[in-house]
């Protein structure tokens, strides 16, 4: 498929995924007929249905529209689908274009000046901040985001007709980001992850090096200080960013406003200092994400005032350092963290924000393979809490691995205040928990606990 201009009908297999749903919304808003399947009904699939998209939850070809012309129809699928999926098998047997989500995203983004945000963690927040800043500029931008932006109330920002920029989260899973050819690229981190796909960290690094080699001529690459890559494989101009210290972009005079819990800083750039940048979103890790995002916005032409406005106006992403409840006695924060390094960054950021307060964390491991590969590292990160409630593992797309469960993390933890619990038991434990801060962490279905915990704390 060279172009999407002649496509009139788009069917999604796994339409409820965060990346898939953004594409579904894009095609719907651009006048195409859109329908799709997902395994589970969620708030996101409910939203798609409210927007006029036909979504069903039974794997049965009878739900596939029969009146769509195959010549003007494509099907988009997620690699998370099982091999025996009935609808996927049907599309494979038909004269209908069948494409991975990443391929279709690349076709859309590569037609414009793409901004690709890659990294094993921090992608969603950083790309959303970039989009929020550029949305303040005269020509704006489009964006395909990996979470629901609280500013946009969506994971999709439609570009203006003359907007040259489109921001995309460049996902390393299944090497999806190799379908992107950005003009501006940023890498937040390269940690060992998705070893079920890559096998070893060296292969992950190779994939990131391939990604940066695809930056368009005259493009720019922004690397977080400390990320090690063979940058001879790209012709892009290379810049660095860091929270603080010696880098092309960094935060100077960083201060925490204890009354609000938010940071302010001066932003160092190669062209001078942007003074008195104020955040209205918490977390030291998010200051670092903001520095990286500001670097991309700077190279995309945003002025100092536009960068400051986008930083100050940023409201966050659902499930990213998401403060759900706050009183004098209790604070509850929900986060998508599902890798040991993400857990460490999140927990230490909360510690910096609320020094001296006791923390209870509820964590749901995600994937058998990730749990097996990083059990010791998960234990070390969870030991940073004062108390841990460990939920059963969420398998997602994987089949069980013998001997792998949440217990292999639990057994390696050193803190005494730890307990294994089902979700219902965890709710009971939270009712009587005396610690000032409660955290929920994970990428599975732990998000379904969030409204209940919030309501519990509000009632107390």
Q: What is the pLDDT of residues 150-176, one digit of tens each?
A: 999 999 999 888 899 999 999 887 788
Task: Specify whether the CB–CB gap between 274 and 293 falls below 8 A.
Answer: no
Structural fold of domain 110-313: 3.40.1190
| 307: nearest Cα among 319, 316, 315, 295 | 295
| Alpha-carbon gap, residue 180 to 270, rounded angstroms | 27
What is the chain's percent helix, strand, coil content, to nearest 5?
35, 25, 40
Structure pTM? 0.90
- What are the pLDDT digits (tens) for 407-427? 999 999 999 999 999 999 999
Residue ranges of alpha helices (H) inside 40-158 are: 43-50, 86-92, 101-109, 123-134
Strand partners, 308: none
Above 90 in pLDDT, residue 292?
A: yes
| Alpha-carbon gap, residue 359 to 335, rounded angstroms | 14
pLDDT of residue 275: 98
H or E element that contains 114: strand 113-118
pLDDT of residue 72: 96
| Alpha-carbon gap, residue 304 to 373, rounded angstroms | 43
> Under CATH, which number does the domain 322-459 receive?
3.90.190.20
Task: Specify whether the CB–CB gap between 396 and 372 falls below 8 A.
Answer: no
Task: Specify whether the CB–CB gap between 368 and 404 falls below 8 A.
Answer: yes
pLDDT of residue 248: 98
pLDDT higher at 377 or 112: 377
Confidence of residue 457 (pLDDT cuts 50, 70, 90): very high
Cα angle 251-252-253, degrees, rounded to a multiple of 5: 125
pLDDT of residue 200: 76
Superfamily of domain 9-100: NAD(P)-binding Rossmann-like Domain (3.40.50.720)
The residues near 115 (Cβ < 8 Å, ≥ 6 apart) are 127, 130, 141, 165, 166, 167, 168, 182, 183, 184, 185, 186, 296, 300
- What are the pLDDT digits (tens) for 72-106? 999 999 988 888 899 999 999 999 999 999 999 99
Q: Is 444 exposed, middle or buried (0-12, 13-18, 19+ CB in 10 A)?
A: middle
Q: How far is CA 152 from CA 112, 132, 145, in A?
A: 21, 8, 11
Above 60 in pLDDT, residue 368?
A: yes
| Alpha-carbon gap, residue 451 to 441, rounded angstroms | 14
| 18: nearest Cα among 152, 171, 127, 146 | 146
Task: Specify whether the CB–CB gap between 327 and 437 falls below 8 A.
Answer: no
Where along the chain do its domains lie?
9-100, 110-313, 322-459
């Amino acid at each position: 498929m060279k172009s999407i201009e002649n496509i009139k009908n788009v069917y999604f297999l796994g339409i409820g995924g965060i990346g898939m749903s953004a594409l579904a919304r894009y095609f719907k808003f651009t006048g195409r007929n859109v329908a799709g399947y997902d395994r589970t009904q969620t708030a996101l699939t409910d939203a798609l249905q409210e927007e006029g998209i036909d979504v069903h939850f039974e794997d049965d070809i009878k739900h596939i529209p029969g009146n769509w012309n195959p010549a003007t129809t494509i099907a988009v699928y997620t690699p998370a689908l099982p091999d025996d999926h009935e609808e996927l098998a049907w599309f494979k047997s038909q004269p209908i274009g069948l494409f991975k989500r990443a391929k279709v995203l690349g076709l859309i983004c590569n037609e414009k000046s793409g901004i690709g945000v890659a990294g094993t963690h921090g992608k969603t927040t950083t790309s959303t901040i970039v989009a929020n800043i550029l949305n303040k500029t005269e020509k704006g931008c489009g964006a395909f985001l990996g979470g629901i932006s609280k500013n946009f109330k969506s994971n999709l920002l439609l570009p203006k007709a003359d907007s040259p920029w489109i921001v995309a989260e460049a996902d390393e899973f299944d090497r999806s980001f190799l379908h992107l050819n950005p003009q501006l690229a940023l890498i937040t981190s390269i940690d060992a992850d998705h070893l079920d796909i890559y096998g070893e960290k060296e292969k992950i690094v190779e994939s990131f090096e391939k990604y940066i080699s695809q930056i368009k001529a005259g493009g720019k690459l922004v690397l977080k200080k400390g990320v090690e890559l063979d940058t001879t494989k790209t012709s892009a101009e290379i810049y660095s960013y860091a929270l603080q210290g010696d880098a092309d972009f960094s935060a100077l005079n960083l201060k925490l406003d204890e009354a609000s819990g938010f940071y302010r800083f001066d932003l160092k750039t190669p062209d001078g200092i942007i003074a008195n940048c104020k955040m209205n979103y918490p977390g030291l890790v998010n200051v670092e994400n903001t520095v990286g995002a500001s670097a991309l916005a700077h190279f995309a032409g945003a002025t100092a005032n536009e960068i400051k406005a986008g930083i100050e106006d940023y409201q966050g992403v659902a499930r990213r350092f998401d403060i759900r409840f706050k009183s004098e006695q209790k604070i509850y924060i929900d986060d998508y963290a599902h890798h040991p390094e993400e857990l460490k960054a999140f927990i230490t950021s909360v510690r910096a924000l609320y020094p001296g307060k006791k923390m209870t964390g509820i964590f749901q491991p995600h994937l058998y393979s990730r749990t097996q590969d990083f059990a010791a590292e998960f234990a070390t990160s969870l030991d940073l809490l004062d108390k841990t409630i460990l939920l059963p593992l969420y398998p997602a797309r994987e089949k069980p691995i013998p001997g792998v469960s949440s217990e292999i993390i639990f057994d390696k933890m050193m803190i005494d205040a730890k307990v294994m619990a089902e979700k219902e038991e965890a709710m009971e434990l939270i009712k009587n928990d005396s610690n000032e801060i409660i955290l929920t962490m994970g990428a599975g279905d732990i998000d379904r606990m969030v409204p209940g915990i919030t309501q519990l704390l509000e009632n107390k």
